Amino acid sequence: MKFTTGFQSQTTGSTRLKGDRSPPGSPWPMPKSWKPSKTQLTIDPESFYMSSNANDCEVISEGLTRYKQMIVKDLKGVKHPELPVLEGLQVKVNDDCSCGYPNHDSDESYVIEVPAQGAAVLTSKSIWGAIRGLETFSQLIYDDNEKNLFINSTTINDAPRYKYRGLLLDTARHYQPIKTIKKNLDAMAYNKFNTFHWHIIDDQSFPFESKIFPNLTKLGAYSQKHVYTQDNIRDIIQYARLRGIRVVPELDTPGHTQALGKAFPWLLTPCYGEGPEHPYTPNHPEHAAAEMLNPMLNDTYRIFKMLVEEIKTVFKDEYIHLGMDEVYYACWKSSPEIKEFMQKNNYTDYNQVEQHYVRKTLQNVKDIGYKYIIWQDPIDNDVVASPDSIVEVWKDTSLDLKMDKWENYIKPIAKKGYQIILSACWYLNYISYGMDWKKYYECDPRNFDGSEADKDLVIGGEACMWGEYVDGTNLLARLWPRASAVAERLWSPAHLTNDTESASFRLDEHRCRMVRRGIPAQPILNGYCGDYDWELDN
Q: What is the 3-state secondary structure (H, E, C) of 32-83?
A: CEEEEEEEEEECCCCCCEEEECCCCCHHHHHHHHHHHHHHHHHCCCECCCCC
Could you list the beta-strand ranges (E) of 276-386.
Answer: 319-323, 371-375
Q: How far apart are CA 316 and CA 57, in angstroms?
A: 18
Burial of 265 (0-12, 13-18, 19+ CB in 10 A): exposed
Residue 10 scores a pLDDT above 80? no
pLDDT at 536 (0 to 100): 78
φ, ψ of residue 242 to 5 degrees: the values are -65, -15
More confident residue, 273 or 228: 228
142 contacts 152 by C-beta, under 8 angstroms? no
Output the CA torsion 12→14→15→16 (10° steps).
90
Q: Per mean pLDDT, which range of 282-286, 437-441, 451-455 is the poorest?
A: 282-286
193 contacts 166 by C-beta, under 8 angstroms? yes
Best CA proximity match to 385, nearest among 414, 362, 351, 354: 362
Q: How far apart are CA 293 and CA 377, in angstroms?
A: 16
φ, ψ of residue 375 to 5 degrees: the values are -70, 165
Is 310 annotated in the active site? no
pLDDT at 4 (0 to 100): 40
Q: How far apart are CA 222 and CA 535, in angstroms?
A: 33
Q: How far apart are CA 195 and CA 198, in angstroms?
A: 9
Residue 538 scores a pLDDT above 70? no
Residue 285: band (very low, low, confident or very high) from pLDDT cuts 50, 70, 90:
low
Question: Residue 156: which H helix or E strand, with range?
Answer: strand 149-158
Position 180: which residue type? T
Q: Per mean pLDDT, which range of 71-75, 215-219, 334-338 is the poorest?
A: 71-75
Q: How far apart are CA 439 and CA 273, in angstroms?
A: 41
What radius of gyration, in Å, describes the C-alpha atoms of the chain?
Answer: 25
Question: What residues contact 251, with CB distance under 8 A and at least 6 apart?
Answer: 200, 201, 304, 307, 308, 311, 320, 321, 322, 323
Residue 277: band (very low, low, confident or very high) from pLDDT cuts 50, 70, 90:
low
pLDDT at 475 (0 to 100): 98
71 contacts 43 by C-beta, under 8 angstroms? yes
Residue 225 scores a pLDDT above 60? yes
Output the DSSP codes for 399-426.
T-TTS--HHHHHHHHHHTT-EEEE-TT-
pLDDT tens, position by position, 110-159: 999 999 999 999 999 999 999 999 999 999 999 998 999 999 999 999 99
Mean pLDDT of 236-247: 99
Q: By percentage, how much of the chain surpasses pLDDT 70?
A: 93
Beta partners for residue 390, in sequence order: 373, 419
pLDDT tens, position by position, 17-54: 777 788 899 999 999 999 999 999 999 999 999 999 99
Best CA proximity match to 154, nearest among 121, 109, 114, 110: 114
pLDDT at 284 (0 to 100): 52
Question: Please, where are the H alpha helices in 154-220?
Answer: 178-190, 214-220
Q: How far apart are CA 324 and CA 236, in angstroms?
A: 25
More confident residue, 419 or 276: 419
Q: How far apart are CA 511 and CA 227, in angstroms?
A: 32
Active-site entry in 58, 113, 326, 442: 326
φ, ψ of residue 418 to 5 degrees: the values are -80, 145
Taken in order 142, 146, 148, 151, the sign of the CA dihedral is negative
pLDDT tens, position by position, 381-410: 999 999 999 999 999 999 999 999 999 999
C-alpha distances (whole Å) from 333 to each of 273, 343, 352, 384 are: 10, 13, 12, 21
Whole-number mean pLDDT of the chain? 93
* Three-state secondary structure call for residue 337: helix
pLDDT at 309 (0 to 100): 99
Q: Per mean pLDDT, which range of 134-143, 247-256, 265-274, 307-316 is the poorest?
A: 265-274
